Structure 1
Amino acid sequence: MAHTIVTDICEGIADCVNACPVACIHMGNGINKKGTNFYWIDFNTCIDCGICLQVCPLENAILAEERSELQQIN
């Protein structure tokens, strides 16, 4: 199962982008409700490795489950 970046928690630090072995993490369009850039995970490409969870410095910004209602692209 794919992981999910919670749009309203993500602050665009992007440590996960370079750490992802399959390049499934992309910058979102616009800003979230906190006023920061955010990223999203392509569920079709994610291999559920969990590296993004390990490198993200924000608590609960990435979930180890697919929750499309918490992740925005635009």
Structure 2
Amino acid sequence: MAKVNWESVKSDGEKGFWAVFPNLCKGCGLCTEKCPVKCITWSEELGVYGTPRVEADMEKCIVCGICQMVCPDCAIRVEKNK
């Protein structure tokens, strides 16, 4: 049985955190299209299929979670600070 790597690349901000799971991100770009503040961009690092994965600019991110909701592969996790 193959071992699954669930490591994430996490970005912390004042309002919360944003994480992407590179082994799930296929680089479809839905999150970049739907982000209301356009804080998600393409990373230099690659995702699961050798395509660019995404990353968030936490200076701009409002931690709304829309990117998490539209990701078809559950590759993004967003959580507001309490």
TM-score, structure 2 normalization:
0.66
- Structure 2 gaps, min length 5: 1-15
Partners of 1:17 and 1:26 within 8 A in 2: yes
Unaligned runs of 5+ in 1: 67-74
The percentage of counterpart residues that share the same residue type is 35
Q: Confirm or deny: 8 A CA contact 1:25 1:41 kept in the other structure.
A: yes
Answer 1 or 2: higher relative contact order, Cα 8 Å, separation at least 6: 1
1:34 Cα deviation after fit: 4.2
More helix by share: 1
Compare the two structures and name the one with the higher strand fraction.
2
Task: Report the TM-score when normalising by structure 1.
Answer: 0.72
Higher Rg: 2
Pairwise CA RMSD: 2.0
